[in-house]
Amino acid sequence: MISSVSAPMKAPRSAHRHKPEATPYVDLTRSEWSALREKTPLPLTAAEVEKLRGLGDVIDLDEVRDIYLPLSRLLNLYVGATDGLRGALNTFLGEKGSQSGTPFVIGVAGSVAVGKSTVARLLQALLSRWPEHPRVELVTTDGFLLPTKELEARGLMSRKGFPESYDRRALTRFVADIKAGKEEVTAPVYSHLIYDIVPGKRLTVRRPDILIVEGLNVLQPALPGSDGRTRVGLADYFDFSVYVDARTEDIERWYLNRFKKLRLTAFQNPSSYFRKYTQVSEEEALDYARTTWRTINKVNLVENVAPTRGRAALVVRKGPDHKVQRLSLRKL
């Protein structure tokens, strides 16, 4: 006997195929993002952008207008919203817990040679032009690398840039002190020329409105302590974070191109740690650079840096020409 009850209809294949995938991000094309700048004026000249961009980067005024002006507007809105939230908290706490403003902290992460340093410098220049927060400081995590002698003693010279090559406790304490509103906080200074920490030299930061922290591993979660307890990590102090992304093969090409340019410029300095690569053939020098990329920088990217991408508030995706193609902004 055939049942008179009809079987439930299956949804057409196309309905499943076109169902949007759930994601914590809003994905935007370059043109969609660019439109969000509204009437924000461009405060930088071509000459200023030239000084800010890194070796091998191709950022120009169009890139600043289309990508970084909207970002500076977004961050200005975030700073204002944070101030408003602080006021609401003060109202709730009353006299017992009233607090003055503390610096808004931004993390900028990404691979070696992806252009994160240029992004950080551009943000510093753009954000400091907003009248609400003129004091914008930029600190790189290079200053918290362990000194060369310490890296050699621990057998970590070939792991330079990996999480274990930093004094992570000192770095986290530095940002925590700034976030707590301390009047003056200092950090070690790193020299790319000598490839080491500069003995006796310190960078001083005095109560900025905004602090930008740029580095490979700034979005790394905290490691458990020896007692097994979860610690507070650097990223826990960030109010906003940016991950600069690109295909690995593009970053490798940018890395090698930058190495070739450095070989003709900074490496020529007699004090340069890398001067020895100016005294061999270009092919020999590039063999070294390829090996360094393959055994150190790429490994660090794949194992440590790229896995933190999903922790960022904004992911900026570059194309093969260094131009930003798409952006993903985390939903609230």
Residue ranges covered by each domain of the chain: 25-91+101-330
pLDDT along the chain (332 residues), means of 10: 40 52 92 90 84 76 92 94 89 74 94 95 94 92 97 96 96 96 95 96 96 96 78 93 98 96 95 95 96 97 97 97 96 92
45 vs 48, 51, 84, 227, CA distance in Å? 5, 10, 33, 53
| pLDDT number for residue 14 | 47
According to the annotation, is 232 in a ligand binding site? no
| pTM exceeding 0.75 | yes
Under CATH, which architecture does the 25-91+101-330 domain have? 3-Layer(aba) Sandwich (3.40)
| pLDDT number for residue 9 | 42
Report the distance separating Cα 86 and Cα 98, nearest Å. 9
According to the annotation, is 112 in a ligand binding site? yes
- The tokens of 194 are what? 């000598």
According to the annotation, is 26 in a ligand binding site? no
| pLDDT number for residue 236 | 95
| pLDDT number for residue 59 | 84
| pLDDT number for residue 98 | 62
According to the annotation, is 110 in a ligand binding site? yes
According to the annotation, is 316 in a ligand binding site? no
Nearest Cα neighbor of 118 from 86, 140, 88, 93 is 140
According to the annotation, is 271 in a ligand binding site? no
